[in-house]
Amino acid sequence: MGEILFTAAGLYVLVLLRAGGTFALGRLAGAGARRGRFAERLSTPRFQRVERAIQRWGAPVVAVSFLTIGFQTAANFLAGTLRMPLRRYLPALFLGGAAWALLYATAGIGALKVLSKLFTEHTALGVTAVAVLLLGALGVLAYRRRSAAAGDSTPATES
């Protein structure tokens, strides 16, 4: 239990620094981000969805974003560009960051224990499990790159 709490505390510090830094960058960028080279990225459907959710629901969106993958950074950055007041942002950061740290600490420690048991008691099975995980990750990466390349190569229509 102590190792989970120690890991969670370390992850909590990291998430506070990373998410808080992302919020600060968004706040500093402010309106300039919507005019500069980030303007194109901020106009993607994903960022637009996050922005609408933050405008409608506020801090709870930021807190819940920590339990998602790929939504967290956008939520923190956009909360900064939208100039969410710190009295609303900080509780969302502390609560969401704590949930994220505990989730990742327990899942991470649990996965490491399972893998170490596999390696010590059933080495061949452990190696197979790691190989399957790596192949799966490589497959997802290849699929995403192929999808992104297909999206970028769509012919432009002339008007």
The predicted model scores a pTM of 0.64
Q: Tell me which range, 12-26, 72-86, 119-133, is most confidently predicted by mean pLDDT.
A: 12-26
Q: What pLDDT is recorded for position 159?
A: 44
Q: What pLDDT is recorded for position 5?
A: 83
Q: What pLDDT is recorded for position 155?
A: 54
pLDDT in tens, 94-139: 999 999 999 888 888 888 788 788 778 888 887 887 889 899 999 9
Report helix, strand or coil for 67: coil
